[in-house]
């Protein structure tokens, strides 16, 4: 089982490109976030093709322009191809999203997912053992008090607000589409032999169209991103009960444990994100000159906003 806290940062990400943060732009508000994440093999599979990743910049200009990124991916393809696909997807999406100079979060996320699809598809076409590999992706960006979601596949994002849980994302699966069309009930979908058929994924075809949307966050909101190894075992009220009564790190562990207790038929990943405060940003005394002439230098000279 892997564990990540917000202090842990990936060490293999590429350098950001020059000039991608808008010099002098400061956040309107800062979101105080707490995050916990776990991924687990489950009780049946021989290897883990799930993965989570995140990036939390420190520079205020970068936070105002790009925000913080969190995602879960569930690979497919066999012979470790699924693991490669989800790692490529997350690495590419993070790099392309933060490399873009645009502050249009939805457009940047969409473009990054499309680029990741091309990378994985071309890799699969060039390596015989990798043909057919792909991955789901559920990614969120928290920028000021806004949440932007990008979705491909049947991993999910849930929002807990006021002791109510709602599924933010639509599954791109055959049974979910039948439920939305009214030709199958939810109960029928849950036991259908076709419930694992994915209708949209990253890397399995030359083009992909992610669902991308934005909504406003509130203090006290909790987000749960998960692979279908979790949602396939736990109903939304069960996820809500666990996430409401634990800190993010403890909730992620408890969610994975609960899915394993229900059989653990697949790899299991949970990422829990809690919005603790939304505070108007106040620049430190003496920082105005730095914001106009030197902002972004720390980001450009170090890896992804990580202070050396």
Helix 105-126 crosses helix 81-99 at what angle (to 10 degrees)? 140
Q: Which pTM was predicted?
A: 0.85
Burial 267-281 (b: 16+ CB within 10 A, else e): bbbbbbbbbeebeee
The per-residue pLDDT for 295 is: 42
| The residue to which tokens 């694992």 are assigned | 196
Instruction: Classify domain 2-9+25-279 at the CATH superfamily level.
Output: PPM-type phosphatase domain (3.60.40.10)
Contacting residues for 7 by C-beta, under 8 A, at least 6 apart: none
Contacting residues for 300 by C-beta, under 8 A, at least 6 apart: 16, 18
Question: CA 268 to CA 234: how far, in whole Å?
Answer: 11
Segment-wise mean pLDDT, segments of 10 residues, the chain, 308 residues: 40 44 82 98 94 96 95 86 95 97 95 97 87 94 98 97 95 75 72 75 95 98 97 96 97 98 96 98 67 41 35
Question: CA 131 to CA 258: how far, in whole Å?
Answer: 34
Domain residues of the chain, as ranges?
2-9+25-279
Q: Exposure of 205 by Cβ count < 10 A (0-12 exposed, 13-18 middle, 19+ buried)?
A: exposed
């Amino acid at each position: 089982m892997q564990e990540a806290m917000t202090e842990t940062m990936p060490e293999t990400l590429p350098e950001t490109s020059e000039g991608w943060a808008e010099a002098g732009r400061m956040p309107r508000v800062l979101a105080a976030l707490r995050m916990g994440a776990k991924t687990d093999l489950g009780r049946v599979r021989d290897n883990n093709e799930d993965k989570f990743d995140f990036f939390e910049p420190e520079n205020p200009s970068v936070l105002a322009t790009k925000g913080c990124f969190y995602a879960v991916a569930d690979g497919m393809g066999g012979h470790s191809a699924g693991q490669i696909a989800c790692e490529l997807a997350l690495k590419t999406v993070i790099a392309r999203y933060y490399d873009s100079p645009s502050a249009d979060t939805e457009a940047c996320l969409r473009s990054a997912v499309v680029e990741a699809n091309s990378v994985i598809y071309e890799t699969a076409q060039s390596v015989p053992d990798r043909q057919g590999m792909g991955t789901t992706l559920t990614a969120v960006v928290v920028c000021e008090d806004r949440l932007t979601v990008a979705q491909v596949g049947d991993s999910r994002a849930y929002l807990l607000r006021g002791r109510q849980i709602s599924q933010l994302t639509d599954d791109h699966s055959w049974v979910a589409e039948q439920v939305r069309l009214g030709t199958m009930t939810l109960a029928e979908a849950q036991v259908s032999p076709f419930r694992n058929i994915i209708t949209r994924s990253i890397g399995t075809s030359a083009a992909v169209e992610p669902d991308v949307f934005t909504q406003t966050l509130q203090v006290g909101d909790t987000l749960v991103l998960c692979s279908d190894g979790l949602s396939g075992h736990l109903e939304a009220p069960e996820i809500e009960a666990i996430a409401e009564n634990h800190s993010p790190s403890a909730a992620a562990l408890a969610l994975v444990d609960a899915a394993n207790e229900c059989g653990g038929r697949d790899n299991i990943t949970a990422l829990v994100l809690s919005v603790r405060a939304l505070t108007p940003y106040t620049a430190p005394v003496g920082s105005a000159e730095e914001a106009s002439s030197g902002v972004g230098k720390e980001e450009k000279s170090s890896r992804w906003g990580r202070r050396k």
